[in-house]
Structure 1
Amino acid sequence: MNAPTTARAGADADAWPHGAILVVDDEPGMRNFLIKVLAPRCRFVAAAASAEEGAEWVRTQRFDLVILDIALPGQSGVQWLQTLRSQGFSGEVILITGFATLDTAIDALRAGASDFILKPFRVPQILNAIRQCHERARLRRENFVLRRGAMPSRSLGTPLIGTSVATQRVRAAIERIALMPSTVLLQGESGTGKELVARALHARSPRADGPFVAVHCGALSPEAIAHELFGHARGNGSARDGLFVYAQGGTLFLDEVADLPPPVQASLLRVIEELQIRPVDSQQSVPVDVRIVAATHRQLADEVAAGRFREDLYFRLRVVDLVLPPLRERPEDIPALVDHFIHTLAPALGVPPIEVAPEAMALLQRYRWPGNVRELRNWVERSLILGEVNVSALYPSMGATVGAAGADTPLDLETLQRRHIQAVLESVGGDKGRAAQLLGVSRRTLERRVAEWAAEDHTRR
């Protein structure tokens, strides 16, 4: 049994940079040749001279690919491949042989081989076969993640649009944090764009070429979350890898991490400390190379104080702590966000853009947006579908902001604007200069509108 070899820094890593490969061949020259070729191109290489030695490696180490000779002493390569598949091994297998017939090739494929190569072969041949295996594994990983809804397909837009001081601080923090390998904790209200910040951290990091895997911890039952994250051995049905394995070399985004049950919190702490996972019902630890970005809309310190979240895990997660500001604290960003959503959503919906008048924009900036950027995006989408600036859709939840009676009945935009401006004037004791500043309009415009309403009231009387 040959000692394992790890990839060397700075080497060509174009075959399977984050993969572990097992070579099983009874010829020392072939084993050494493959180790020499593969060591610079993958994370981990081990070699064995027989199926029995290979089985020892598989019991203690997870492999993404096995390169397996057919003619082995003792159990043949095809026989061991059948055993591997029956035990739940889901990795790729390339069979190699110097004595091939059509029947041998058919038996190999039926046994579950990914590819079949004749000896002697050149380096480009084996590397091409490995790349194809890598691509199949990548597609399988993406299908797994997408089937479980772990990668939401709908984006809120971006929380980085705008020129407010708060937005500039977040933008600067992302540029700095992205380059670091540290675990990041994102905190902020629902709809502030935590997942989008996590994606931005991944896209600007050295891991950008690796996968970004997102999972909503609160969307899974306490019984299912451990299986989804860590996978499980064959003792729990068919063996299956978890999201940590599928995120190898990239970023795992744990959304609503505060919802993790206590046993999974303990397992996650162990993963962060040891950089290894242990699938459910397995005695085998699997090394992982994953950056964790966690997020929650709750105050995690309060969850710790209440005994619902482990304090040691909290400190492990918040190596870097980034708090995303709610939209109400950066109203100056709303015009740019509205413009962005209009010009992004209108073509997707197949409708013309809409114009938002200054008075309507002032109403939007005064609204508190409890749903934050997500709510703003939804409002823009509704308005585009209706073909009008539908500020009245916000009115039932604006209540005290507008200060109007009869909130159960949607009002026209002109009435909403008037009541809103009157409420602002009352809040500042009739100071038109201050009211104009709060409304984002000139004092002359405000005085003109007040005079028009006074004239209308006089005419009606």
Structure 2
Amino acid sequence: MEPTFFPSSPEKQLEGWPDWSILIVDDEQGMLNFLVKTLAPRCQLVMSAASAEDGAQWLRTHHVDLVILDISLPGKNGVSWLKELREQGFSGEVILITAFADLDTAIEALRAGASDFILKPFRVPQILNAIKHCYERSRLRRENFVLRRAVTSAPGRGPALVGASPAIQHLRESISRVASVNSTVLLQGESGTGKELVARELHAQSARAIGPFVPVNCAAVSPELIESELFGHAKGAFTGATRARDGLFHYAQGGTLFLDEIAELPLPIQATLLRAIEDLKIRPVGSEQLMPVNLRIMAATNRHLADEVAAGRFRKDLYFRLKVVDLSLPPLREHKEDIAELAAHFMTQLAPSLGVEPLQISPEEMHFLEQYDWPGNVRELRNLIERSLILGVLNVSALYPSTTTPRSSQPGASGQPTDLHTLEKQHILSILESVHGDKTRAAQLLGVSRRTLERRVAEWAGA
């Protein structure tokens, strides 16, 4: 039998019915007709089969979200086939139906991996409620996976973008415009400029905000495993694949997939990714099934992708497919007027989690921060604030390693302590020594006031 495709109907939209593919396996033609008539207006695709063997043919060639399976079938019965499906790694939902059942049969069905168990004859509301429960269980399973993955990677929730500089205001305006469309987005900027933060904000302001945000660092996954990580794999697809596994495209259904460090993808995977973005279908490694996906792709890189294309390290067609919308994030050295607000934000954000009081930043110290070029960008500033909170002193002079520091005082050279407080002291004393104790000249070289310098030296003298 050929599958029948049914477009979304007003009824489906009103009920919020899941856009699922459903396989019905029953040897009673009347039951098949009843279920197809009931589900066809509400589902993306309905397929039917009269035996487990025919059902297996559909599963080999089509993605199936739910199987409605009769227990009593010619040849292999439903429970036996369900056990085989679970052993092979089928992770979709399964509702078992039967006209003859007792408690032992129900228990056996649930142990075999059934999501629900319904007795014939049943009414339309019963089967619809069972399917909705399956959809909710599947949605929660995806959300739990995404939440577990995001626990250690998600930034603390606060103002999405901190700062009032023209550069940040322009970025905010761009995010507001871009969030409402479904186009792919390419975020380019140096390391530490906040590309994932911007991607999360784009997702939060979009119509997909209720769906998952799934980040993946392409540089952190080995080239041998990245295809399986993104698209999933079938059982036996490669050595060690003892069961089937869904990929991150699957878990990002209805939401956003964020591909960080996309320039690190091997060229063969770039071709596969291009096809997935254009067709909105993926093929798990070792599988014949094409699985439709409904998600938005965002990508980020700290490299200049046009140069990577020119060097032959990145596909030109994928580059243009990704940069439908291209957002460039400014380095911190280009909006230094935001440093004071950023530092205050990080103080407020980090101090409670560290169990300490926020530090006060003097005007001299702020001047010191604003003179630095911040090669590590906002991330470097955040790390400095966190270290300073732990040590109890704002260690700004550690940002300016002295070229006149004697080799014996370089970190690690003599086995002496190399914490930030000690490094600050060593650096300032070496500057004083280089100018023969002239505190005015030393303060100028350090970028602080003479009063700040004298206060630090007095603290060490009294220690």
Pick the TM interval, shorter chain: 0.7 to 0.9
Q: Distance in 1 between matches of 2:442 and 2:213?
A: 44
- Aligned-pair distance for 1:414? 9.6
Partner of 2:385: 380
- 1:125 & 1:390 partners in 2: Cα distance? 66
> TM-score, structure 1 length as denominator?
0.82
Alignment TM-score, normalising by the size of structure 2:
0.82
Tell me how far apart the structure 1 counterparts of residues 95 and 398 of structure 2 sit (CA, whole Å): 60
CA distance in 1, matches of 2:207, 2:40: 21
Tell me which amino acid in the other structure corresponds to 2:155: S
Distance 1:173 1:63 in 2: 39
SS of 1:303's partner is helix
Contact 1:258 1:300 in 2 (8 A): yes
Pair 1:424–1:80, CA change in 2 (3 A):
closer
Note if 1:342 corresponds to 2:347.
Answer: yes
- Which residue of structure 1 aligns with residue 285 of structure 2? 280
Flag structure 1 segments of 5+ consecutive residues without an equivalent.
426-438, 440-445, 454-461
Structure 2 counterpart of 1:370, one-letter code = P
Residue 272 of structure 2 corresponds to residue 267 of structure 1: yes
Give the corresponding residue for 2:190.
189
1:369 is paired with a residue of what secondary structure?
A: coil
Q: Distance in 2 between matches of 1:325 and 1:201?
A: 17
User: What does residue range 163-202 of structure 1 map to in structure 2 within 5 Å?
Assistant: 163-202=164-203
CA contact (8 A) 2:270 2:318 kept: yes
Q: Distance in 1 between matches of 2:316 and 2:340?
A: 40
Amino acid paired to 2:397: S
**Structure 1 stretch displaced more, 224-233 or 68-77:** 68-77
RMSD: 3.2
Aligned counterpart for 1:422 among listed residues 423, 441, 444: 444
Q: After superposition, give the CA deviation of every residue in 1:110-163 in whole Å (9 maximum; x if it has no partner).
A: 22212212234455544443344334434443555577x577434276661111
Task: Flag structure 2 segments of 5+ consecutive residues without an equivalent.
Answer: 411-422, 432-438, 456-463
Q: Is the 8 A contact 2:59 2:289 kept in 1?
A: no
The amino acid across from 2:320 in the alignment is: F
Aligned partners of 2:382 and 2:44: how far apart in 1?
43
**Aligned match of 1:323 in 323, 328, 340?**
328
Structure 1 residue 394: deviation in Å? 2.4
Residue aligning to 1:443 = none
Residues 95, 306 of structure 1: alpha-carbon distance in 2 compared, 3 angstrom cutoff: same
Inter-partner Cα distance in structure 2 for 1:424 and 1:393:
10
- 1:308 and 1:158 map into 2 onto residues whose CA distance is 36
Aligned 8 A contact 1:24 1:68 in 2: yes
Pairwise CA distance, 1:25 = 3.1
Kindly state the Cα deviation for residue 9 of structure 1 after the two structures are TM-superposed.
Answer: 5.8
Q: Residue type of the partner of 1:324?
A: L
1:235 alignment partner, SS class: coil
3-state SS in 2 of match to 1:182: coil
* Structure-to-structure mapping, 1:22-37, within 5 angstroms: 22-28=23-29, 30-35=31-36
Aligned to 1:368: 373
| Aligned-residue offset at 1:344 | 1.4
Aligned pair partner of 2:360 in 355, 358, 369 = 355
1:21, distance to aligned residue in structure 2 (A): 2.4
Distance 2:427 2:121 in 1: 79
CA deviation after TM superposition for structure 1 residue 187, in Å: 0.4
Equivalent residue letter for 2:370: Q
The corresponding residue for 1:302 is 307
Do the aligned residues in 1 keep the contact of 2:160 with 2:201 (CA within 8 Å)? no
Q: Which amino acid in 2 is paired with 1:293?
A: M
State the Cα distance separating 1:34 from its structure 2 match: 4.0
Distance 1:94 1:52, change over 3 A: same
Kept after mapping to 1: 8 A contact 2:219/2:261: yes
Counterpart for residue 295 of structure 2: 290
- Deviation per CA, 1:254-283, whole angstroms, max 9, x where unpaired? 000000011101101111222111111222
Looking at structure 1, the residues matched to 204 and 11 of structure 2 have their Cα atoms a distance apart, in angstroms, of: 22
Q: Give 1:119's aligned residue.
A: 120
* Residues 225-279 of structure 1 deviation map (CA, whole Å, 9 limit, x = unaligned): 0110111122322211111111111111100000001110110111122211111
CA shift in 2, pair 1:150/1:449, >3 Å? closer
Aligned pair in 2 of structure 1 residues 10, 104: CA closer, same or farther (>3 Å)?
closer
CA distance in 1, matches of 2:321, 2:150: 23
Match of 2:155 in 1: 155
**Number of aligned residue pairs:** 427
Once the 2 structures are TM-superposed, how far is the Cα of residue 43 of structure 1 from its aligned partner?
A: 4.1
40-49 vs 354-363, greater mean Cα deviation: 40-49
Aligned partners of 1:231 and 1:243 also within 8 Å: yes
Per-residue Cα deviation, 1:274-328 (whole angstroms, up to 9, x for no partner): 2111111222221111211010000111111111111111111111111100111
Does residue 104 (structure 1) correspond to residue 105 (structure 2)? The answer is yes
Cα shift at 1:168? 0.8
Q: Contact between 2:6 and 2:43, CA under 8 Å: does it hold in 1?
A: no
Which amino acid counterpart does residue 26 of structure 2 have in structure 1? D
